[in-house]
Amino acid sequence: MKQLLGILIFCGMVMLSYAQQPFDAHTLWQMKRVGSPVVSPDGSMSVFTVTEYDIEDNSSSTDIYLVEHHRGAIRQLTFSGKEGSPVWSPDGRKIAFTSRRHDGPSQVYVLDLSGGEARKVTDLPVGVFGLKWFPDGKRLAFAANILPDYGGDWDKLRDMQKEKRESKVTAKVTENVMYRYWDRWLTDGYYPRLFAVDMDGDAGKHAVVDLMPNTANFFGLMGGVSYDISPDGAQIAVSMNATGPPYENTNHDIFLLATDGSGEMTNITSDNPASDSDPVYSPDGRYILYGRQSDPHFYADRMVMTLYDRQSGSHREITGDIDLSCQNWFWSSDGNTIYFLAEDRAMQSVFSIPVGGGRHTEVFRGGTNSGVSLAGTGHLVFTHHNLSAPAEIYSLALRGGDLKKLTGFNDDIVEGIEWGTIENVTYKGADGADIQMFINYPPGYDRSKKYPLVLMIHGGPHGIFGDQFHYRWNSQLFAAPGYIAAMPNFHGSTSFGQDFAKSIHGEHANKPFEDIMKATDYLIERGLVDEDRMAATGGSYGGYMVSWIAGHTDRYACLVNHAGVYNLHLQFASDFSANRKYQYSGSPWEDYDIMNAQNPAQFAHNFKSPMLVIHGELDYRVPVAHGFLIYNTYRLMGLDARLVYYPDENHWILTPQNSIFWYDELYGWLERYLK
């Protein structure tokens, strides 16, 4: 009997050791982040990056892996922890990638998959990005930020950089309207260009040609570059801003660039005042497929896939009659079908459409899918994640729809977590419109109880809280302490059609506020939440709505305002202020009464609900003065408020320890008022 009792106790201990645990921020940062797959030319395998974080050191490392699609075998290819952006050579024998393994700015490296160490191809004084092989495999294209006056002389550029580093003058001077972006200043004189490097030659001595010797403008202001090389290698199609100083606005156009180093370029979308992006050549080289927006004042304007005929010079919209905003498009190998991604009803799905247009087909729906590529002729490979699972790589059979999971870097962690269940609901909002909302129930949810509510308000405003695994605002982490986390996709949200997204243009507060109030009513009426223990939380535009809520209702026990817009006047100090007067239907110099009607700062006299205010110094999108102003207003009114200020973070909290601290502050604030 004693022996049997001992066995039972031991078994119970084993079961307890494998019991699922609630999710926490520390576990979030232990997860490996799997990048998008890059499929080999023969479609049999993919390379991809995996990023790991060291919480103690507050650092990250990224290496490159290879997965075989058929067998699912995975092999790690690099081990320095400083790699990125792998691309296959046309013959499938090598991969090129960027690396900082030499402790300098990122350079081009090439690894022969038959064996041996990666060799360094470039040795430049600036970092490189955006690698692409030329079709013949003899050259590699890349982008780099340079000082235009360097004149193609890399030694001169080194001297110019040294002079800048050693200068004692710290002033930044400009006469431009746009002079800083996100978390960096644009006054240092650097501009991106495309280059080509000859793949023959000794390590570090490969000839580099400046393909854009006469340009000084911007590609993507968030970094990166969108371009493609023609099948014959003679031309590059690149998306680049077409406006010049003082940059009162931006307009990305498609330029055709000769690859002989002459710098000869032709703008093929100069007639469109809105942005054109992501050009991709057809397999036979006759067409260029790109995305076209039509409203220059609406950053979330629907992206329409458009064909440019290189022979006739004509443009033809393919998805003009489809109420989806397309992205990540690519051709089938025979050139007859186009695959693309699009947000649709709070998910990001895979679609296809004939190249001639017509009816589109939903190929795969569920969660959020990205980095999709064609593997051979019968499969798609992509990353997939959802509200309860981080990204991994999957393969989808085009016939039959069989879905196969190819990677499982986080399986052990995921299986050890007690996740809250997700419900996808619809309720009636402003104007009687259907409003979609995800409800994230707490782990161990008991239907007989009412729970505290944590309402999550997304940013944008033209964005979504989608079925995705979010590393900054993770609904499972919001629900884990025992809360119901609700994510309404109110008027202005994307993925529900162009009209729904534009419905708040010029009036940012009213319909979303009504939708949020009705979401709260819906949850109360269903008997899910305790109306005396509710919180509203939001970041960026979500913070704007939190500030608006503070001035218009006291039904929430507390509020959380992360990087939130408080005073619309201050948004004219934002990094990109060109479209503000169109978004607000007013400005500080005209129609300011209309703007102020939607300005949370005008309603401070109504503030009552305690507010946690969080902001980063390097936030140029929503300048940090917003946070200081609403916090000081609260404290001078004698109201409960707490300020969390990050001197080294931008609009997002991106480092492990700061993020964990962020969640600790969130939990402490919610517990103070909801429990």
> Could you tell me if residue 95 is inside a domain?
yes
**Torsion sign, CA atoms 386, 664, 555, 461:** negative
List, in order, residues 6 or more apart from 600 with CB less than 8 Å away: 509, 544, 547, 548, 550, 551, 565, 566, 567, 568
pLDDT bucket at 4, cuts 50 / 70 / 90: very low
CATH of the domain at 670: 3.40.50.1820
pLDDT bucket at 1, cuts 50 / 70 / 90: very low
Give whole-number Cα distances, 354 to 334, 360, 361, 504, 647, in Å: 11, 7, 9, 34, 51
Q: What is the count of structural domains for the chain?
A: 2
Q: What is the mean pLDDT of residues 550-573?
A: 98
CA angle (517 as vertex; 663, 511 as ends), nearest 5? 105
Residue listed under structure tokens 């022996």: 3
Percent of the chain beyond pLDDT 70?
97
For residue 11, pLDDT beyond 80: no
Contact predicate 656/53, CB 8 Å: yes
Last residue of a domain, one of 177, 210, 243: 210
Spatial distance between the Cα atoms of 173 and 180, rounded to a whole number of angstroms = 11
Q: Is 334 helix (H, G, I), strand (E, B) or coil?
A: coil
pLDDT at 578: 83
Spatial distance between the Cα atoms of 649 and 57, rounded to a whole number of angstroms = 17
* DSSP output for 416-441: TB-PPPEEEEEEE-GGG-EEEEEEEP
Strands in 158-251 per DSSP E: 180-181, 184-185, 191-198, 208-210, 227-229, 235-241
pLDDT at 203: 54
Give whole-number Cα distances, 207 to 96, 143, 184, 195, in Å: 16, 15, 31, 10
For residue 675, pLDDT beyond 60: yes
CA 71 to chain centre: 31
Contact predicate 322/299, CB 8 Å: no
pLDDT bucket at 204, cuts 50 / 70 / 90: low
Last residue of a domain, one of 210, 229, 258: 210
- Max mean pLDDT among 32-41, 201-210, 220-229 falls in 32-41
| β-pair partners for 236 | 229, 257
Q: What is the mean pLDDT of residues 155-173?
A: 96
- 357 Ramachandran zone, left/alpha/beta (phi>0; psi -120 to 50): left
Spatial distance between the Cα atoms of 69 and 513, rounded to a whole number of angstroms = 47
Q: What is the CA radius of gyration of the chain?
A: 26
Spatial distance between the Cα atoms of 468 and 463, rounded to a whole number of angstroms = 13
Contact predicate 459/538, CB 8 Å: yes
Nearest alpha-carbon partner for 455 in 485, 424, 420:
485
Q: What is the mean pLDDT of residues 42-53?
A: 98
pTM of this prediction?
0.94
Strand 389-397 relative to strand 379-386: parallel, antiparallel, unpaired?
antiparallel
> Structure tokens of 512?
């979303």
Spatial distance between the Cα atoms of 454 and 593, rounded to a whole number of angstroms = 33
Q: Is 376 helix (H, G, I), strand (E, B) or coil?
A: coil
pLDDT at 206: 86
* pLDDT, tens only, 593-638: 999 999 999 999 999 999 999 999 999 999 999 999 999 999 999 9
* pLDDT, tens only, 98-152: 999 998 999 999 999 999 999 999 999 999 999 999 999 999 999 999 999 999 9
* DSSP output for 571-619: GGGSS--TTHHHHHT--SSSSHHHHHTT-GGGGGGG--S-EEEEEETT-
Spatial distance between the Cα atoms of 445 and 668, rounded to a whole number of angstroms = 21
Count of all residues that appear for the chain in the document: 675
> Structure tokens of 330?
């690519």
Nearest alpha-carbon partner for 458 in 468, 446, 466:
466
pLDDT at 19: 77
Last residue of a domain, one of 171, 188, 210: 210
> Could you tell me if residue 609 is inside a domain?
yes
* pLDDT, tens only, 371-401: 999 999 999 999 999 999 999 999 999 999 9
* pLDDT, tens only, 492-523: 999 999 999 999 999 999 999 999 999 999 99
| β-pair partners for 244 | none
Q: Which domain holds residue 196?
A: 88-210
CA angle (504 as vertex; 617, 490 as ends), nearest 5? 80
**Torsion sign, CA atoms 331, 337, 342, 347:** negative
Q: What is the mean pLDDT of residues 35-63?
A: 98
Contact predicate 575/620, CB 8 Å: yes
Q: What is the mean pLDDT of residues 233-241?
A: 98
**Torsion sign, CA atoms 72, 77, 81, 87:** negative
For residue 275, pLDDT beyond 60: yes
> Structure tokens of 667?
């939990």
Residue ranges of alpha helices (H) inside 239-389 are: none
> Could you tell me if residue 352 is inside a domain?
no
pLDDT at 549: 98
> Chain-wide mean pLDDT for the chain?
95
Amino acid of residue 386: N
Q: At what angle do helices 541-550 and 510-525 cross, to 10 degrees?
A: 70
Spatial distance between the Cα atoms of 173 and 580, rounded to a whole number of angstroms = 23
Strands in 355-462 per DSSP E: 361-364, 368-375, 379-386, 389-397, 403-405, 422-428, 434-440, 451-457
Residues 335-344 as b/e (b if ≥16 CB within 10 A, e otherwise) read eebbbbbbbb
For residue 407, pLDDT beyond 80: yes
* pLDDT, tens only, 16-27: 345 789 899 999
pLDDT at 2: 41
> Could you tell me if residue 454 is inside a domain?
yes
> Could you tell me if residue 512 is inside a domain?
yes
Nearest alpha-carbon partner for 488 in 549, 424, 552:
424
Contact predicate 338/350, CB 8 Å: no
> Could you tell me if residue 628 is inside a domain?
yes
For residue 429, pLDDT beyond 70: yes
Exposed (0-12), middle (13-18) or buried (19+): which is 174, by Cβ within 10 Å? middle
pLDDT at 576: 87
> Could you tell me if residue 656 is inside a domain?
yes
Exposed (0-12), middle (13-18) or buried (19+): which is 582, by Cβ within 10 Å? middle
Nearest alpha-carbon partner for 225 in 127, 309, 350:
127
For residue 5, pLDDT beyond 70: no
Give whole-number Cα distances, 100 to 95, 126, 128, 130, 284, in Å: 16, 11, 10, 15, 36
> Could you tell me if residue 560 is inside a domain?
yes
